[in-house]
Structure 1
Amino acid sequence: MDSLSVTTMTFGLRLLQELGVSCSLVFSPIIMLLAGNNHKNMRRKFHFADRQMTRLLESSKNGFMINQELNFINTSYTATWRYLYMNHHHHTMKFHTENQKLKHVNYVSANTKMSEELVSNGLGFRTAQDDVFTILKIPLFGRALRFVIFLPNPEFTLDKSIKVTPSYLLTHLSDLLSFQKLSSSRVQNLFNSLTVYNVHYKIPYFQMSSTIDPSKLLGLQTSKFHKFRFNWKRPSETYLYEENDGFNESFIKRPPDRTPFYFTANRPFFYAVFNDTLPIIMGVFTGTNCS
């Protein structure tokens, strides 16, 4: 990750910590940063240097693949998967919320036939693991775009996975040097170990809309709210091949490893949309909407 990606990721994670993880939400760290462009107090609070803001403003001219113009008040984004998935289920998936309540949610699952074909060409969904997270990278339609789910391992709640709690420090002093909260460095390490697998996944199918008050969160003197809508969809068969994404068979093929990697997002998780390594959207899915 370059310095801009690291700073934007760190900023987004700090916003998540301050917003809390008690309910589902979504926001654009890019738009939030741009909103605070002329507010030195916010830039000092989040340690954002002038040169980084200049780079961000220059990069924002590309639009960050946002469907509309960058709009602090009301912006939407639709993430279109590059590869098809199956979503025709006559039943729901059990989902355990942060407070251990059981919900039943609609979900999508793997097209296993396509997964094997992708793996044989070194393409497809990628996963990585460390001591706190298992992540799934889902390629999106659009250059360098990917939808990434950060699923805390079963022994970690969503809250524990994003920050070090006092109780953890008392009981895990020996692991203190190796343990870090969710950070840009952890994200980079996970990205570096991403590997193509024959992923058998089950993911809640959700659409998200959030309204965030930036006045206290960012220390801005404004009455405007950050309204953001996020959804994702499968591509049509025609849409899938409109972009030259390297899906065609390669000259050298290796036998597909049909050993499945199981990824079941049946508990709260973080998610983000990246343009290369720059997070343009960040959020959390808990199974419970904010009131």
Structure 2
Amino acid sequence: MSTYMLDTATSRANPTPAPMKRLTVPKIQAMKGGEPIVMLTAYTMRMAQLLDQHCDMLLVGDSLAQVIYGLPSTVPVTLDMMCAHGAAVVRGSWHSVVVIDMPFGSYEASPEQAFESAARILKETGAAAVKLEGGEAMAETVAFLVKRGIPVVGHVGLTPQAVNALGGYGARGKSEAEAAKILADAKAVADAGAFAIVLEGVMEEIAIQATRAISCPTIGIGASAQCDGQVLVIDDMLGMFEQTARFVKKYDDFAQHVTDAAAAYAAEVRSRAFPGEGHIYRARG
């Protein structure tokens, strides 16, 4: 549990961390088959402060494309965007392992390109690891990064960066061939040295098989409760959007809270009830 100290220069709450050490990649690996790993996305310093004590991992996802920037997909996301948001999340956390998505086009060309991009991310943000999408085709790249000291989280199944090739965001693994490919992808990435793998939008039986077949933890999102952990996009979980994927559980209706607060503020401004006596400065006579 953290307390917060007010920075009088900015009127912003800065964390005063409780005495705890940040989790490490080996500790996450060791959670395989044990207590489920808790992971949420975070994109800002303040959200990281609020989520950190409850999570084992914070993912700075390229989902910021849609939830922060209003882009139609994750494809337009840049390294600059991921580094800026990643650094903010690291500054706001002290406990969770922070993982940052490598954006589309920053790692696919070659292992060398991937290393250059990943090294920049870790240098500029202070994060512990990167995440990249792809299965067998990316195994060589995963191994190249891991051998050079860059921890990697894999991502197989529904891979949003490949939405144009996949033709949409539907669940994967409905056919025998597709199911076999997902399992082969998970094994290839795990064998290459990934310390965890996100399984997204796959049929439950495939998620269970993959979790049992590989030695590193699986993090499910639209997969199975039997995965070694779960991740959700924070804005979806909080109910910031009316429409979400089937696998999202809304734990609040935060959008309504914001709407109600904005409406109350607007009404007080228009009636001149705000600012009140306690919100203005007067010279002392």
TM-score, length-normalised on structure 2? 0.23
Tell me which structure has the larger Cα radius of gyration.
Answer: 2
TM-score, length-normalised on structure 1? 0.23
Greater helix proportion: 2
Point out which structure has higher relative CO (alpha carbons under 8 A, 6+ apart): 1
Greater strand proportion: 1
